[in-house]
Amino acid sequence: MNPTTVRADFPILSRRVNGKQLVYLDSAATTQKPIQVIDAMNDFYRRHNASVHRGAYTLAEEATALYEGARSKIASFLDADSPREVVLTRGTTNAINTVAYGWGLYNLKPGDRILLTKMEHHANVVPWQLICRHTGAELEYLPLTDDFLVDTSNLEAVIDNRTRVVAFSGMSNVLGTIGPHAELIQAARSVGAMTIIDGAQLIPHAPTTVHDLGADFVVFSAHKMLGPTGIGAMWGRMELLEAMEPAEGGGSMIRDVQLDNSTWADVPYKFEAGTPPIAEAIGFGAAVDYLTKLGMDNVRAHEIEITRYALDRLGEIPDLTVYGPDDTSMRGGAVSFTLADIHPHDLATILDQQGVAIRAGHHCARPLMRVLDVPATARASFYVYNTLEEVDALIAALHDARRIFDVA
Ligand code: C6P
């Protein structure tokens, strides 16, 4: 996989920003979209647009085939046993809420425990807090080690038969930290707890299957893997999906509606209330095709190469602190840092003047910011189209920032 060839498929990457060539280093927030995804969505609106699952006319049949075709592609990408195990959601946040409200609300009671880690995105914290309010269950958090890994040294003492849910990020959007999936899943299994992996960062970046992960649910967003916003997936074990209640009611998700009661459509439709984002699903399918063609092993190998290079080069900058593991076998390509006492927002603004787009802030991980004892970090994140030369541009812009802020 050659990022220079890959770049040619991404029209936006030839843009100039503030008179400089755009260097897009914010793929952990959202990735850019290749022409293949843009064309697939465009083609749907130009030639096939109709609602799905209802119409008895040609366009509706075409739209349904394209929508269901996208589900099948996502299922193959995950090596799921059946496309029916893939629920199309509005994204990771919506998927976690679907599990929290569809499973948690009906299965948790006072005294039950939900185990998270201190590196979770708010999407894997706040829904569980809301469920705790409804059910009386309590939250617990696994701490982090000094080298930014999930600390499992006390796991046996933390997990017991009160633990009913273990929910954790497959890859941190701030630290880049991966895992430890197998250990957490096994510990959860040993006490019969339900497991959910927030795969928003993991699935786009690592060759993995739902069988490798072994969780009960794996959730992720299309827009972080070259697809459009507004769509994502919730893979779940069929027996849990069958047993779970829908979190949202409305059209398309019912078998029958009486005046005072309703019955649900089969999985996955009982979780897809209302007219779905059809063009977005088709774009998601095209993104999965694109990544499959690149090969997820190649995607990961490139990520390791560019992240290693970035960590080494960032290490050359005085007063710069990286928050995350140094070992690239344990991390992905989201690299958070601070530079002296320059506020990350100021840093991002200065870098933007050089055309370099990075994110600054708490990255929707305020509990983690407290652990790191910083209000915010700057974050550069890499994907399939980023080159080592772009890392050089980042480094040059950071040296400029040091000069501008007169860092001694
Ligand atoms: N992170 C970032 O880091 P949505 O918004 O539903 O597509 O994804 C939410 C989400 C959940 N979990 C993790 C680990 C994530 O990284 C994210 C999204 C973005 O820049 C936005 S805060």
Tell me what pLDDT residue 352 has.
98
- Residues designated catalytic: 364
- Residues 113, 109: Cα–Cα separation, whole Å: 9
Which of 265, 292, 319 is the C-terminal boundary of a domain?
292
Q: What residue owns the CA closest to ligand 1's atom 18? A: 29
Interval 83-96 mean pLDDT: 98
Pocket test for ligand 1, best of 119, 171, 201 (most atoms within 8 A of CB): 201
With bands split at pLDDT 50, 70 and 90, how would you rate the model's confidence at 137?
very high
Check whether 197 has a pLDDT greater than 90.
yes
Which residue reads 């019969």 in tokens?
192
Among residues 217, 307, 334, 311, the alpha carbon closest in space to that of 268 is found at 217
Same domain, 251 and 353: no
Same domain, 125 and 257: yes
Same domain, 358 and 233: no
Structural domains counted in the chain: 2
Q: How far is CA 254 from CA 94, 103, 247, 251, 275, in A?
A: 20, 18, 13, 7, 13
Q: Which atom of ligand 1 is nearest to the CA of 232?
A: 7
| Ligand 1 centroid distance, CA of 1 (Å) | 26
Tell me what pLDDT residue 166 has.
98
CA dihedral sign, ordered 94, 97, 103, 106: negative
Same domain, 99 and 188: yes
Note the pLDDT tens digit of each residue in 334-362: 999 999 999 999 999 999 999 999 999 99
Same domain, 72 and 197: yes
- Residues 254, 64: Cα–Cα separation, whole Å: 18
With bands split at pLDDT 50, 70 and 90, how would you rate the model's confidence at 90?
very high
Which of 241, 261, 292 is the C-terminal boundary of a domain?
292
- Residues 110, 123: Cα–Cα separation, whole Å: 22
Same domain, 44 and 76: yes
Same domain, 188 and 261: yes
Which of 260, 292, 324 is the C-terminal boundary of a domain?
292
Q: What is the CATH number of the domain that holds 376?
A: 3.90.1150.10
Write out residues with Cβ below 6 Å of ligand 1.
28-29, 91-93, 121, 123, 169, 173, 198, 200-201, 221, 359, 363-364
Same domain, 344 and 366: yes
Same domain, 275 and 366: no
pTM for this model (two decimals): 0.98
| Ligand 1 centroid distance, CA of 93 (Å) | 8
Q: Which atom of ligand 1 is nearest to the CA of 198?
A: 12
Q: For residue 260, give its domain range.
A: 38-292
